Structure 1
Amino acid sequence: MSTKKSIDREQITISNITIDIVRKDIKNIHLAVYPPSGRVRIAAPLQVKDDAIRLFAISKLSWIRRNQRKFAEQERLPAREYKQRESHYFQGKRYLLRIHEADSPPRVVLRNKTYLDLYVRPGTPPEKRHEVMTRWYRTQLKKQIPPLIEKWEKIMEVCLNGWQIRQMKTRWGSCNPDQKQIRLNLELAKKPDTCLEYILVHEMVHLLERHHNDIFVAYMDKFLPNWRQLKVELNKLPVRHEEWGY
Structure 2
Amino acid sequence: MDIKKLSLTKPWGVVEVAIERKKVKKVRLRVFPNRVIKLSVPLGVSDEWIDRYLISKTKWVEKSLYDFKSTEASELAPRIDSGVSTWILGRQIRIIVKQAQFYKIEQKEETVWIQSPAIGDKQALQKQFERWCQKQCKRYFQATVDRLYPIIAKHGIDKPTLQVRKMKTLWGSCSGRHSKINLNYYLYKAPPFCIDYVVLHELTHFLFPKHNQDFYEFLTVHMPDWQERKRILDYEIVKGLEY
TM (normalized to structure 1)? 0.62
Could you tell me which residue of structure 2 aligns to residue 181 of structure 1?
Answer: 180
- For residues 161 and 198 of structure 1, what CA distance do their matches in structure 2 show? 16
Q: Which of 125, 134, 137 is matched with 1:129 structurally?
A: 125
Q: How many residues align?
A: 167
Unpaired runs of at least 5, structure 1: 1-74
Read off the aligned partner of 2:237 and give its amino acid letter.
L
Q: Identity across aligned pairs (percent)?
A: 23
- For residues 171 and 118 of structure 1, what CA distance do their matches in structure 2 show? 30
> How far apart are 1:79 and its partner, in Å?
5.7
Could you tell me which residue of structure 1 aligns to residue 104 of structure 2?
Answer: 107
Could you tell me which residue of structure 2 aligns to residue 163 of structure 1?
Answer: 162
Whether the 8 Å contact between 2:148 and 2:200 is mirrored in structure 1 is yes
Deviations 1:7-63 (A, max 9, x none): xxxxxxxxxxxxxxxxxxxxxxxxxxxxxxxxxxxxxxxxxxxxxxxxxxxxxxxxx
From the superposition, tell whether residues 182 and 241 of structure 1 become closer, same or farther in structure 2 (CA, over 3 Å).
Answer: closer
Could you tell me which residue of structure 2 aligns to residue 148 of structure 1?
Answer: 144
Whether the 8 Å contact between 1:83 and 1:97 is mirrored in structure 2 is yes
- For residues 109 and 123 of structure 1, what CA distance do their matches in structure 2 show? 16
1:85 counterpart SS class: coil
> Is 2:114 aligned against 1:118?
yes
Could you tell me which residue of structure 2 aligns to residue 77 of structure 1?
Answer: 75
From the superposition, tell whether residues 238 and 172 of structure 1 become closer, same or farther in structure 2 (CA, over 3 Å).
Answer: closer
Q: How does 1:1-246 map to 2 (within 5 A)?
A: 76-77=74-75, 80-104=78-102, 106-113=103-110, 115-156=111-152, 157=154, 158-235=157-234, 236-237=236-237, 239-240=239-240, 242=242, 244=243
> How far apart are 1:229 and its partner, in Å?
0.9
Higher relative contact order (CA 8 A, sep 6+): 1
Deviations 1:109-147 (A, max 9, x none): 11233x211112234422221211111112112222333
Unpaired runs of at least 5, structure 2: 1-72
From the superposition, tell whether residues 227 and 135 of structure 1 become closer, same or farther in structure 2 (CA, over 3 Å).
Answer: same
1:117 counterpart SS class: strand
- For residues 142 and 79 of structure 2, what CA distance do their matches in structure 1 show? 32
From the superposition, tell whether residues 166 and 79 of structure 1 become closer, same or farther in structure 2 (CA, over 3 Å).
Answer: closer
- For residues 97 and 147 of structure 1, what CA distance do their matches in structure 2 show? 25
Whether the 8 Å contact between 1:78 and 1:241 is mirrored in structure 2 is yes
Report the RMSD for the aligned CA atoms in angstroms.
2.1
